[in-house]
Amino acid sequence: MAEWRKSSRSANASACVEVATGIGIRDSKAPAAHVEVSAAAWTAFLSAVKCD
């Protein structure tokens, strides 16, 4: 079973995006569905949104 994680900035809210390594991303309000994301795409996304 995948281990889904919420952002540490979500403050335990119910409207969060969650991520699972090797699986993808999902909306915490609709956990049955998820979007598959490749490792390369996820790395590119993180590089684009990280603040310096």
Provide the whole-model pTM: 0.61
What is the reported pLDDT for 1? Answer: 63
Phi, psi of 45 (to 5 degrees): -60, -50
Residue 10: pLDDT above 80? no
Please give the DSSP secondary-structure letter assigned to residue 10: S
> At 2, is the pLDDT very low, low, confident or very high (cuts 50, 70, 90)?
confident
Residue 14: pLDDT above 80? no
Q: Which helix (H) or strand (E) holds 49?
A: helix 39-49
Residue 46: pLDDT above 80? yes
Per domain, the residue ranges of the chain are: 15-49
Residue-wise pLDDT for 17-33, tens only, equals: 888 887 888 888 888 88
